Amino acid sequence: MNRLKDYRKDLFLILGILIGAGLIAAAFALAKKPGAYVRVEQNGKLLAVYSLEEDRREVFAAESGEAEKTEDEEAGNVLVIENGAVHMESASCPDKLCVKQAAKSKVGETIVCLPHKLVVTVISAEEAEEFLP
Partner 1 sequence: MKVKRLVTEAMLCALALILSYVESLFPLSVAVPGVKMGLPNLVIVFALYRMGAGSAARISLVRVAIVALLFGNIYSLFYSLAGAALSLVLMALLKNVNGLHTAGVSVAGAVMHNIAQIGVAMIILGTKEIIYYLPPLLISGVVTGVAIGLVAALLIQRIPVKMTSF
Q: How far is the CB of 90 from partner 1 (least distance, A)?
A: 21
**Nearest distance in Å: CB 58, partner 1:** 24
We find the least distance from the C-beta atom of residue 118 to partner 1, in angstroms, to be 17
Q: Which long-range contacts (CB under 8 A, 24 or more apart) does 71-76 make?
A: 76/116
Neighbours of 41 (CB within 10 A): 17
Q: Which is nearer to partner 1, 7 or 131 (CB)?
A: 7
For partner 1, the closer CB: 1 or 132:
1
Sequence-ordered list of residues with C-beta below 8 angstroms from that of 89, at least 6 positions apart, any chain: 57, 78, 79, 80, 99
Q: Are 36 and 52 in contact (CB under 8 A)?
A: yes
Q: Give the footprint of partner 1 on this chain (CB under 8 A).
A: 2, 6-10, 13-14, 17-18, 20-22, 24-25, 28, 108
